[in-house]
Amino acid sequence: MLGFHVLTLFPEMVMQGLHTSILGRAVGKQCISIEAVNIRDYTTDKHGKVDDYTYGGGAGMLMQAQPVYDAYLSVARKLEGNPRVIYVTPQGKTFHQEMAKELAKEEELIFLCGHYEGVDERVLEEIVTDYVSIGDYVLTGGELPAMVMIDAIARLVPGVLHNDESATTESFHNDLLEYPQYSRPEVWRDKRVPEILLSGNHAKVDEWRLEQSIERTKRLRPDLYEKWAGRNVTGVSKGVKHQGVKQQN
């Protein structure tokens, strides 16, 4: 069981986004729990204000330390130990599959979603353990990045995916992209499903899929291909055949 706690100004966005489809089912099965804490509920300002101008001038407003800290305390007080607190920010380390795997081993995770021009540095120093970005682009707030990360982490928690789903979720640890896949009909707009896939020869199908994965990775993600090739210097013939072809992109 992994508990996600999201400190946000838009709790409905987080709750609606994360309670659908596979994650909604996982919450129902109690493999994970997801709580969104409204930072605004913790402001001591009588008008419900959570932001103010930045000292030293400059455009935009900053989220103030007090409501963020008190929202954090409301969560931290009911949890054991010192859960990691992830501040989603374009200034953080770029999120990747290995990080998702590592975070999936935690029992509780707290996400802090910033808005406006950011959050007062002092509260970040006080509570944040990890600064994480989802990529080199800037979004309007931290909710979408937090949701992306929670989805990637949650699907690695035991029980979240069904067996048939997890078979296709070996992620990026093999550094190869997924091979092309086909479903019925056999012919669509004059395009045939590759003959080998209809052969019933599983060894040949595996071989074909690996070749396709390698070719596709080389063409689309030369960086991943180099990594894979470096780890598989002994070559495809030496039993790497069944590694690495079953993943979703």
Question: How many C-alpha atoms does 58 have within 13 Å on its Cβ side?
Answer: 9
CB of 111 to ligand ADE, least distance (A): 10
Question: How many C-alpha atoms does 243 have within 13 Å on its Cβ side?
Answer: 14
CB of 143 to ligand ADE, least distance (A): 9
CB of 145 to ligand ADE, least distance (A): 4
> Which of residues 135 and 194 has its CB atom nearest to ligand ADE in the complex?
135
Residue type, 245: V
Question: Residue 32 pairs with which residues in a beta bridge?
Answer: 2
Our CA angle for 223, 166, 198, nearest 5°, is: 85
> Which of residues 119 and 210 has its CB atom nearest to ligand ADE in the complex?
119
CA-to-CA separations, 205 to 177, 195, 199, 200, 243, in angstroms, rounded: 16, 10, 8, 8, 14
CB of 55 to ligand ADE, least distance (A): 22
Query: How much of the chain is helix, strand and coil, in % rounded to 5?
Result: 40, 20, 40
Q: Which residues bind ligand ADE (CB under 6 A)?
A: 88-90, 133-135, 137-139, 142, 145
> Which of residues 5 and 209 has its CB atom nearest to ligand ADE in the complex?
5
> Which of residues 67 and 114 has its CB atom nearest to ligand ADE in the complex?
114
CB of 7 to ligand ADE, least distance (A): 14
CB of 224 to ligand ADE, least distance (A): 21
What are the φ and ψ backbone dihedral angles of 100, each rounded to 5 degrees?
-60, -45
CB of 240 to ligand ADE, least distance (A): 34
> Which of residues 91 and 163 has its CB atom nearest to ligand ADE in the complex?
91
> Which of residues 91 and 249 has its CB atom nearest to ligand ADE in the complex?
91
> Which of residues 26 and 150 has its CB atom nearest to ligand ADE in the complex?
150
Our CA angle for 137, 9, 89, nearest 5°, is: 25
- Residues 187-209: b if buried by 16+ CB within 10 A, e if exposed: eeeeeebeeebeeeeeeebebbb
The DSSP code for 236 is G
Dump the DSSP string for 29-48: TTSEEEEEEEGGGG---TT-
